[in-house]
Amino acid sequence: DQQVKQNSPSLSVQEGRISILNCDYTNSMFDYFLWYKKYPAEGPTFLISISSIKDKNEDGRFTVFLNKSAKHLSLHIVPSQPGDSAVYFCAARMSRRSKLTFGKGITLSVRP
Amino acid sequence: DGGITQSPKYLFRKEGQNVTLSCEQNLNHDAMYWYRQDPGQGLRLIYYSQIVNDFQKGDIAEGYSVSREKKESFPLTVTSAQKNPTAFYLCASSPHRYGYTFGSGTRLTVV
């Protein structure tokens, strides 16, 4: 049973426009959520995170929104750049010492 | 610079052979993890260790073994019992407070 779901396998956007990457979760015990970015043949790198006590966290071009009632979070990238083309993983955990549960990832392509 | 080192980057194995993937970290992190990435499957947890001399099975542990004799090292052995070992393997570590730091991965191919 997949507890973190990224239902869209891919997304293509024009350079300069907004990219919205969605993630849903089923376990209401998750209290911390993260987004990772991964290029081919490299390890994922941390992008941005949000605690369940917040509904928004912003870092430069990247903003993560959390809707706890809907068990849904989204990553907004504005403006999108060709270098943002990568696989993005959503992850969640239940407590500070628990392991992360990852979604299957979404491949973002930003067209010049 | 602190980080996680995975070696080798590319590894070829003959069917029926065991092979060990190395993972070393100098971040002083307590927890370490092994993931496998396959196309369309995302990141699947193989084994993890939260402290030296202790480790737990993840979601897909069959055909794999690990050891954690030192805090810095968490090697993964892919045994001949693993039916489909060709994949990209990722090692990660965590100080618990934040998310993971990942290594650059090892691409294992069975020939």
pLDDT tens per residue, chain A (112 residues)? 789 999 999 999 999 999 999 999 999 999 999 999 999 989 999 999 999 999 999 999 999 999 999 999 999 999 999 999 999 999 999 876 678 999 999 999 999 9
Tell me: the pLDDT tens digits for B51-61?
A: 999 999 999 99
More confident residue, B63 or B80: B63
Q: How many CB atoms lie within 10 A of CB A47?
A: 19
The whole-angstrom separation of Cα A83 and Cα B24 is 29
Tell me: the pLDDT tens digits for B16-44?
A: 899 999 999 999 999 999 999 998 788 99
| The pLDDT of residue B54 | 95
Shortest distance, CA A62 to any CA of chain B (angstroms): 17
| The pLDDT of residue B99 | 83
| Pairing, β B54-57 against β B42-51 | antiparallel
**CB contact set of A40 (below 8 Å; sequence gap of 6+):** none
| The pLDDT of residue B98 | 63
List B73's β-bridge partners, or say none.
Answer: B24, B70
**CB contact set of A60 (below 8 Å; sequence gap of 6+):** none
Inter-chain CB proximity B103 and A43 less than 8 Å: yes
| The pLDDT of residue A110 | 98
A88: closest chain B residue by CA: B42
Portion 76-105 of B in contact with A at CB < 8 A: 88, 90, 92, 96-105
Q: How many CB atoms lie within 10 A of CB A82?
A: 10
Tell me: the pLDDT tens digits for B71-109?
A: 999 999 999 888 899 999 999 998 755 689 999 999 999
**Nearest C-alpha neighbor of A4 from the set A106, A101, A112, A108:** A101
The whole-angstrom separation of Cα A88 and Cα A93 is 17
Q: Is A96 on the interface with B (CB under 8 A)?
A: yes
Within 8 A of B31 by CB-CB distance, chain A residues are 99
Within 8 A of B45 by CB-CB distance, chain A residues are 99
Shortest distance, CA B16 to any CA of chain A (angstroms): 25
